[in-house]
Every structure is written in structure tokens, then in C-alpha cells.
Amino acid sequence: MEFNAFQIAEILNGEVVGNGQTSVFQLAKIEEGKKGALSFLSNPKYEEYIYETKSSVCIVNNDFVPVKNIPDTLTLIKVDDAYACFAKLLAFYQQMKQKSPEIEKQSFVHESVELPEDIYLGAFSYISKGVKIGKNAQIYPNVFVGENVQIQDNCILYPHVSIYADCVIGNRCILHSGVIIGADGFGFAPNSKGEYEKIPQIGNVILEDDVEIGANSTIDRATLGSTIIRKGVKIDNLCQIAHNVEVGEHTVMAAFVGIAGSAKIGKKVMIGGQVGIAGHLKIADETKIVAQSGIPGSVKKAETLMGSPAIPMEDYKKSYFGFRKLPYILKKIQEFDQYLKEKNKKQENG
């Protein structure tokens, strides 16, 4: 779909500088721009590209003043915040690409389920008994939805998502390909023979509103009660959330994070990639955890943690500086030890 510069400026409440009839039909980074592309410039270190880009339209900040001639083929749209406005256009573009309402052939819907009129349901999806689905749902091909699952309004389930029985998905949640919600928690108990017997996992998972979960991440059902992901949480690809965990509102975590059972993560916590968090602990609101850190115990106040086991980041940096000096220190100790031996030997020999 094509838009001209005037139409885009109207959406963004911006000012056109150049030919307002210039049309665009694709989005591109400014350094990779082509004819018919819309780009943006917000970071000054990329300014050099605006003087040679082949994009047709570029969104810039109101205070942008060219220091050289820009291409004659380039139209500018000046706005208060170029980055935010481009993000707004990306969201608008994504919304335009949403699937139209349709129930594709070869999908299965149990007779007890009443689907909303505006649903998109892809081929080979399976909707089980007792499922409730809200309006404007997009359920892509090969999705499994177990018995009595509740899915609220405006959710997107990409291909190969599996939601086990009794789980609850809030409004505007996005589950990317391969996400599994409600698989059994890792619950086993040793018997008198030292063999492990499975503990039934009869709870569920609750995702509150505006949760997004990256591809191939898993959230286990609770042993009893619920594993809860609070509103606004964003989880990257390949993360593991164990049974009975609670993740607080607007917490974010990068790829390969693993959280063990019954851990309680606070609000607005930031967790870097490959972080491991032990079970049955609490992490304070607004804590920041650096990538590859290990958290073995509760964090009682907000701070930035680093290392395994994690300690305050500034302490870690000082410790690491000392660690890097260890070879030098060991060498000096060995030299001093050798010096003492030689000195004692001389004294013994008179």
C-alpha cells in the first residue's frame, strides 16, 4: 500500500519539506534506502547517510538543519521525535498486515466453542473443548489450544504455539512461534529406592494483559495454584519460566534466562541474557541483572548485580580487576619466596 508524504505527515502531525506528493511503499534504514522507501534519522552519527540516501522520504527531528545539500529526490518530514514517530509508523504498518477474519479449512474447533466473528484461525489449528476466545484474535496455523483455555481480546498466537489446559491469556498478548504455555513443572520426588516419581502438576499459567513472549520460550504450569506473568512483561526467545514463578509488572528479560520454581520477581526488573535465577527467592522491584549472572538468593533492595554468584556491579568490577592481576601477584609471591629461600640458604652457609 502506498502513502505520500502529506498523508504520512498528517498521521505524525509533522511538517513536509519538499515534494509532499512523493510516494513510498516500503520502510528501510537510511543507509539502505531505495526509491520508494521511507526512512528516519534521529541519531546524529547517522547524519552522513541523509546526504546520499536513495530513500524517497525521511522523517527527521524539528531541529535538524542540513550542513550539506540533501538529494533532490528526498522529501523530509519534520516531527518532534523522529524515532518515536517512526516506531508509530511501524506499529501502523504491522497493524495493516494483520490477517483478515477467516477460518481456514482443516482447522478443528470443538462444538462447545463459540468463535468470535472477527477471528483469524489458521489451517491445522486445534481448539479444544470449553475454550473461550475474545474478539480480534489471530491464531496462526498449527496452534494447539487445550481444554478450558481462556484467551482475551486482540491476542496473536503465531505458528506452533501450544497452550495447555486451563491456562488464561490476557488482552493484547503476543506469543511467538514455538511458545509453550502450561507444560508440566519439573516436579519429581525420590522414593525409598532413590528413584524419582512424578509429582502431578495440576495448576495453570496466567498471563495478564500486554505480555509478549519470544519464540520457543516455555512457561510451566504450577504444581498447585498458578504461575503468573503480570501485565506488560516482555520475555525474549528461549527463556524458561518454571512452576509457581511470579514475574512482576513490566519486567523484561533477554534470551536464555532460566528462572527456577517458586521464584518471585518484582516489578520493572531488567534481566540480561543467560541469567540463572534459583528457586524460592524474591527479587526486589527495579533490580537490574547483568547478562550471564547467577542469582542464588533473594535480592532485598534494587541494585545492579553482576557475576555468578552475583554481587553489586561496582564490587564485581573491583573484584575482577583484582582477579586479572592474580597472575602478576602470584609471580611476585613466587619471586619473593625464591628470594627468601636463597637468603636463608646463605645464612645457613654462614
What is the pLDDT tens value at each position of the chain, 350 positions in all? Answer: 789 999 999 999 999 999 999 999 999 999 999 999 999 999 999 999 999 999 999 999 999 999 999 999 999 999 999 999 999 988 888 777 788 899 999 999 999 999 999 999 999 999 999 999 999 999 999 999 999 999 999 999 999 999 999 999 999 999 999 999 999 999 999 999 999 999 999 999 999 999 999 999 999 999 999 999 999 999 999 999 999 999 999 999 999 999 999 999 999 999 999 999 999 999 999 999 999 999 999 999 999 999 999 999 999 988 888 888 888 888 989 988 898 888 888 887 76
Residue 250 confidence (pLDDT): 98
| 286 in Cβ contact with 266 (< 8 Å) | yes
For 163, other C-beta atoms within 10 Å of its C-beta total 27
The Cα 217–Cα 177 span in angstroms is: 9
Helix (H, G, I), strand (E, B) or coil at 202: coil
Q: Is CATH 3.90.1580.10 the classification given to domain 3-96?
A: no
Q: Is the pTM of this model over 0.75?
A: yes
For 247, other C-beta atoms within 10 Å of its C-beta total 28
What are the boundaries of each domain within the chain? 3-96, 102-314, 322-348
As annotated, the active-site residues are 243
Phi-psi region of 112 (alpha: psi -120 to 50; beta: other; left: phi over 0): alpha
The Cα 294–Cα 115 span in angstroms is: 45
The Cα 68–Cα 53 span in angstroms is: 13
CATH of 102-314 given 3.40.1390.20, 3.30.230.10, 2.40.70.10, 2.160.10.10: 2.160.10.10
Residue 350 confidence (pLDDT): 63
Residue 33 to residues 5, 7, 36: CA-CA distances in angstroms? 16, 20, 8
Residue 233 confidence (pLDDT): 98
The Cα 69–Cα 229 span in angstroms is: 51
Same fold, 3-96 and 102-314: no
